[in-house]
């Protein structure tokens, strides 16, 4: 006999899945309410009046699901429904596609290939690859249109290993508008390559599968990660544009604060879910398609955090943004605050050459900021110096930092109190 809990769980999945297939979470609200005991609970409200944040969780069939955030009550409830859906999807083997969490072993190791590989290349059967977007050290990213709903996504293709599963396992756990959204992942035997990424004639769009790597080692598989499509412009490009503007852009201060608030909001959420990003840098922060929001990406170095300091076996990150203690083995989430301090400085302060940037960064790492900067940005100087403090315990928690930046934004919105820089 099938246990009642399984039947109820399948009912929940079916309701949520139908709702998501109809792309209408309103449907979920009415249908699930009728069939299963279901309610949304407000956990907290946050943020200033002009950018409020609402936090809701879904309770269904007496089970509490993860807290989700949104700009409106409706958005937060819809996001909470999506998180519940993801959680149920992960628990139930209803799809032929790989369910990430259920395939992870206790230590985050990848699943055995036999249980996860698929002989039909899902990428080209379910998607139209549109454009090669770029590559990092570990893989390449394509813009692709999912045939079923005719929506565009970014699909990242990486070797299927422990690092890739850590990235995807974390992304699947996160749902915040300042974090690149994860949708799905699956494993294939081969890596898709188009003419451009494969190094052949520029502009070629002819695509195909390359099994060069898997021929060398047949056990090598590739993980396809379907994510929210963002602009290819990164925060590094934004900083570069601003630095090349002459005279100095008068809106830079205001825009930098708004961007810093959004990154901190994303980091606060990541920390609240028990993760440390460990590789925050402008290259890993993208702009959403509407150009309004920034999104934290590249969770390849993410690790679990504990309240206690953890002994970490790996000490990686990007050298120039890395906190002092990150070269050692014992550090906590405050390494992200250090990197954010440098990013906020870089957002605000125009440097004219690579040489000047190195000098500013080297001094900033010792909490020495340019004299002109400290004069022009007094409040920011106090905040940044604390973020860059040598002792992690002195650096603010992301939630405190968020409150400080929100307060600063309120002051900035009262122009009579501040002179424009
Ligand atoms: N969700 C996305 N939407 C749009 N473009 C993306 C997306 N994710 C990545 N890209 C583009 O693809 C490029 C490569 O991304 P990827 O995450 O592999 O690289 P990376 O951050 O440079 O990598 P790594 O630090 O792992 O070496 C990025 O620089 C960006 O231009």
Give pLDDT < 50 ranges for the chain.
Answer: 1-8, 10-11, 13-33, 92-118, 198-206, 211-215, 307-309, 311, 315, 420-421
Handedness of CA 70, 71, 74, 78 (dihedral sign): negative
Chain length of the chain: 421
Q: With a 6 A CB cut-off, is 154 part of the ligand 1 pocket?
A: yes
- Distance from chain centroid for Cα 221: 24
- Distance from chain centroid for Cα 240: 22
Nearest to 255 by CA among 283, 293, 285: 293
Q: Residue with the nearest Cα to atom 17 of ligand 1?
A: 298
- Centroid of ligand 1 to alpha carbon of 13 (angstroms): 32
Q: Residue with the nearest Cα to atom 18 of ligand 1?
A: 136
Q: Residue with the nearest Cα to atom 22 of ligand 1?
A: 136
Query: Quick one: which atom of ligand 1 is closest to the CA of 180?
Result: 1
Our CA dihedral for 331, 332, 337, 342, rounded to 10 degrees, sits at: 20
Alpha-carbon distances, residue 118 vs 90, 190, 242 (angstroms): 18, 10, 46
Q: With a 6 A CB cut-off, is 19 part of the ligand 1 pocket?
A: no
Q: With a 6 A CB cut-off, is 134 part of the ligand 1 pocket?
A: yes
Q: With a 6 A CB cut-off, is 317 part of the ligand 1 pocket?
A: no
Q: With a 6 A CB cut-off, is 396 part of the ligand 1 pocket?
A: no
State ipTM: 0.95
Query: Quick one: which atom of ligand 1 is closest to the CA of 283?
Result: 21
Catalytic residue list contains 279: yes
Nearest to 207 by CA among 137, 140, 160: 140
Q: With a 6 A CB cut-off, is 170 part of the ligand 1 pocket?
A: no
Query: Quick one: which atom of ligand 1 is closest to the CA of 156?
Result: 18
- Centroid of ligand 1 to alpha carbon of 53 (angstroms): 28
User: What is the rounded CA–CA span in Å between residue 385 and residue 320?
Assistant: 16
Residue of 240, 298, 299, 320 best suited for mutating to test ligand 1, as the one with most atoms within 8 Å of CB: 298
For 250, which DSSP code? T
Query: Quick one: which atom of ligand 1 is closest to the CA of 298?
Result: 17
Largest CA distance in the chain: 75
Q: Which of 126, 173, 194, 279 is catalytic?
A: 279
* Cβ–Cβ under 8 Å, residues 155 and 225: yes
Q: Confirm whether residue 156 is marked as ligand binding.
A: yes
- Centroid of ligand 1 to alpha carbon of 285 (angstroms): 9
Q: With a 6 A CB cut-off, is 227 part of the ligand 1 pocket?
A: yes
The C-alpha R_g of the chain, in whole angstroms, comes to 23
- Centroid of ligand 1 to alpha carbon of 102 (angstroms): 26
Q: Residue with the nearest Cα to atom 28 of ligand 1?
A: 134
What is the per-residue burial (b if ≥16 Cβ within 10 Å, else e) of 324-343? ebbeeeebbbbbbbbbbbbb
Q: With a 6 A CB cut-off, is 135 part of the ligand 1 pocket?
A: yes
User: What is the rounded CA–CA span in Å between residue 203 and residue 131?
Assistant: 9
pLDDT digits (tens, 9 = 90+) for 192-221: 987 555 443 333 344 566 543 444 677 789
Terminal Cα distance for the chain, rounded:
72
Q: With a 6 A CB cut-off, is 136 part of the ligand 1 pocket?
A: yes
Query: Quick one: which atom of ligand 1 is closest to the CA of 135?
Result: 14
What DSSP element (H or E) covers 403?
Answer: helix 398-412
Phi, psi of 169 (to 5 degrees): -60, -35
For 282, which DSSP code? G
Can you point out the beta strands (E) in 47-177? 53-60, 63-64, 68-70, 117-118, 127-135, 139-146, 151-159
Q: Residue with the nearest Cα to atom 13 of ligand 1?
A: 134
Q: Residue with the nearest Cα to atom 9 of ligand 1?
A: 141
Q: With a 6 A CB cut-off, is 232 part of the ligand 1 pocket?
A: yes
Token duo for residue 206: 């002819």
Helix, strand or coil for residue 331?
strand
- Centroid of ligand 1 to alpha carbon of 10 (angstroms): 36
């Amino acid at each position: 006999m099938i246990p009642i809990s399984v039947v109820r769980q399948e009912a929940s999945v079916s309701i949520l899945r139908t709702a998501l297939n109809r792309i209408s979470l309103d449907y979920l609200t009415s249908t699930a309410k009728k069939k299963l005991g279901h309610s949304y609970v407000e956990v907290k409200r946050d943020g200033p009046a002009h950018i409020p944040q609402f936090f809701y969780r879904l309770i269904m069939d007496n089970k509490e699901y993860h807290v989700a955030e949104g700009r409106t009550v409706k958005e937060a409830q819809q996001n909470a429904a999506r998180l519940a859906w993801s959680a149920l999807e992960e628990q139930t083997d209803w799809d032929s596609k790989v369910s990430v969490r259920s395939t992870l072993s206790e230590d985050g190791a990848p699943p055995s290939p036999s249980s996860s590989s698929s002989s039909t290349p899902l990428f080209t059967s379910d998607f139209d690859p549109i454009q090669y977007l770029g590559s990092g050290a570990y893989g390449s990213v394509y813009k692709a249109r999912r045939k079923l709903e005719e929506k565009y996504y970014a699909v990242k293709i990486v070797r299927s290993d422990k690092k890739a599963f850590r990235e995807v396992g974390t992304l699947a756990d996160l749902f915040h508008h300042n974090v690149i959204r994860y949708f799905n992942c699956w494993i294939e035997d081969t890596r898709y390559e188009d003419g451009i990424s494969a190094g052949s004639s520029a502009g070629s769009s002819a695509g195909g599968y390359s099994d060069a790597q898997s021929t060398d080692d047949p056990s090598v598989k590739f993980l396809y990660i379907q994510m929210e499509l963002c602009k290819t412009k990164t925060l590094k490009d934004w900083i570069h544009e601003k630095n090349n503007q002459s005279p100095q852009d008068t809106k830079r201060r205001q825009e930098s604060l708004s961007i810093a608030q959004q990154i901190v909001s994303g980091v606060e959420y990541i920390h609240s879910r028990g993760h440390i990003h460990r590789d925050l840098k402008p290259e890993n922060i993208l702009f959403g398609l509407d150009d309004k929001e920034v999104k934290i990406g590249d969770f390849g170095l993410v690790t679990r955090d504990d309240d206690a300091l953890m002994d970490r076996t790996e000490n990686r990150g990007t050298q120039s943004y890395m906190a002092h203690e990150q070269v050692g083995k014992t550090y906590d989430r405050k390494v992200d605050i250090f990197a954010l301090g440098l990013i906020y400085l870089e957002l605000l302060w125009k440097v004219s050459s690579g040489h000047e940037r190195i000098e500013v960064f080297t001094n900033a790492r010792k909490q020495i900021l340019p004299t002109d900067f400290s004069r022009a940005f007094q409040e920011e100087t106090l905040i940044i110096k604390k973020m860059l403090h040598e002792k992690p315990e002195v650096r603010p928690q992301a939630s405190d930092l968020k409150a400080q930046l929100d307060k600063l934004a309120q002051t900035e919105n009262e122009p009579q109190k501040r002179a424009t820089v």
